[in-house]
Amino acid sequence: MIGSDLNIAKDFLLNGDLVAIPTETVYGLAGNALVAETVAKIFEAKNRPSFDPLIVHTHSIDSARNYVLEFPDWALKLAEKFWPGPLTLLLPKQRNIPDIVTNGSELVGIRIPNHQLTLELLKSLPFPLAAPSANPFGYISPTSAQHVADQLENKISYILDGGNCTVGLESTIVGLKNGKPAIFRSGGIPAEIINELLGFEIEVLLSSSNPQAPGMLENHYSPGKPLFVGNLDELINYHTGKKIGIISFYVNYSAQVNKSLVLSPKGDLTEAAAGLFASLREMDKSKIEIILTEKFPEIGIGRAINDRLHRAATKR
């Protein structure tokens, strides 16, 4: 059931059921983070391997303090600047966070999402919400309530409809590497503005083999159709004869291929990010055979766009 009734969402969550919640990044598949049994239902609904830990969502730094042992200076600085917002911090967890949430790690990923409806919901609950993106494991993350319903409707008690996600890509994850803050997943907060705040250049970890590395499995965010990233004119030539769909930054290709989706005619990376996952889903549903897209400028949120496209791409 899709709706925007906070009381219904709250009652299901109090009852130990799962509810999909809107955030500014992507929709989450939420349940009581303090009850292992409930958290197990999340893994089951998503068909998610248990080695992939979940992010805990809360509504204030004070409330976050109930679930982490400490806020080191670097973390507090980031939290005060970017929360509520698309930033997840990896911090030492308290014992009330069950092992199933973190896959046994002593660190918990925690964030305050920037969405009015969900913040209200979190404030009304006596527990935080564990929530991965509300998609079947490996598929494209949902940026609307309908996206969630398309695949998980029968596995979730309620889908809280908060409209389209404004950021459209998952949170940036920051943790410590060798005692220094590092980005474990590029996301809604670009490295550049973290650098500005911290006063040094933060390392962006690209490794996908590191099991600690958040959300960074090589094959992820994948549409059902083959997807290739590269120079679009060359790719069009190479794939002549096929039904082609193109997702481009600002150039329109409708004269050359079967379907062309332009993410931002005015060339705005933030706008492009917001529409990326919806465009992949639309291509998946359309009568095309392959999806072609291009490398985006490697600046700001463009880095996160490229990261997701790289992971969604067909490995040759």
Q: Which residues bind to Mg ion, rule: CB under 5 A?
A: 133
Give me the least distance between CB of 307 and Mg ion, in Å please. Answer: 13
Please report how close the Cβ of residue 7 comes to Mg ion at its closest, in angstroms.
28
Distances (CA, A) of 74 to 70, 151, 175, 197: 11, 39, 10, 10
For residue 184, the SS3 value is: strand
Query: With CB under 6 A as the contact rule, which of the stretches 12-20, 23-31, 242-250, 286-294 interacts with ligand TXA?
Result: 23-31
If the CB atoms of residues 129 and 290 are measured against ligand TXA, the closer one turns out to be 129
The string of DSSP letters for 81-110 reads HH-SSSEEEEEEBPTTS-HHHHTT-SEEEE
Q: Which amino acid is at 174?
A: V
Residue with token string 């996206």: 147
- Contacting residue, 20, 34, 54, 280, with ligand TXA by CB under 6 A: 54
In whole angstroms, how close is the CB of 57 to ligand TXA at the nearest point?
6
Does 42 sit near ligand TXA (CB under 6 A)? no
264 and 250 in contact (C-beta within 8 Å)? yes
Under rule CB under 6 A, residue 173 binds ligand TXA: yes
Report the nearest approach of Mg ion to the CB of residue 77 (Å): 26
Work out what residue 307 binds among Mg ion, ligand TXA, none; the CB cut-off runs from 5 to 8 Å by kind.
Answer: none
Of 173, 50, 48, 30, residue with least CA distance to 100: 50
At 228, list the tokens: 């290739």
90 binds, among ligand TXA, Mg ion, none (CB under 5 to 8 A by kind): ligand TXA
Structure-token pair, residue 175:
């943790």
Of 26 and 305, CB closest to ligand TXA: 26
Residue located via tokens 């809107």: 22
The CA-to-CA distance between both ends of the chain, in Å, stands at 40
Q: How far is the CB of 89 from ligand TXA (least distance, A)?
A: 10
Which listed residue (9, 20, 26, 149) binds ligand TXA by CB under 6 A? Answer: 26
The reply on whether position 102 binds ligand TXA by CB under 6 A is yes
Cα gap 302→111, rounded to integer Å: 22
Q: Is 164 in the site for ligand TXA (CB under 6 A)?
A: no
Contacts of 179 by beta carbon, 8 Å cutoff, 6+ apart: none
Inter-residue contact 66 to 83 (CB < 8 Å) = no
Q: Does 89 bind ligand TXA (CB under 6 A)?
A: no
Least separation in angstroms between CB 303 and ligand TXA: 15
Rounded Cα distance between 102 and 1, Å, is: 29
Among 18, 22, 25, 64, binds ligand TXA (CB under 6 A): 25
CB atoms within 10 A of CB 64: 23
Per-residue mark of binding to ligand TXA, 130-149 (x: CB under 6 A): -xxx----------------
Q: Nearest approach, Cβ of 52 to ligand TXA (angstroms)?
A: 5
Residue 159 found at the interface with ligand TXA (CB under 6 A): no
CA 237 to chain centre: 33
Contact 213, 175 (CB under 8 A): no
**Contacts with ligand TXA, residue ranges (CB under 6 A):** 23, 25-26, 28, 52-55, 86, 88, 90, 102, 105, 107-109, 113, 131-133, 170-171, 173, 212, 214-215
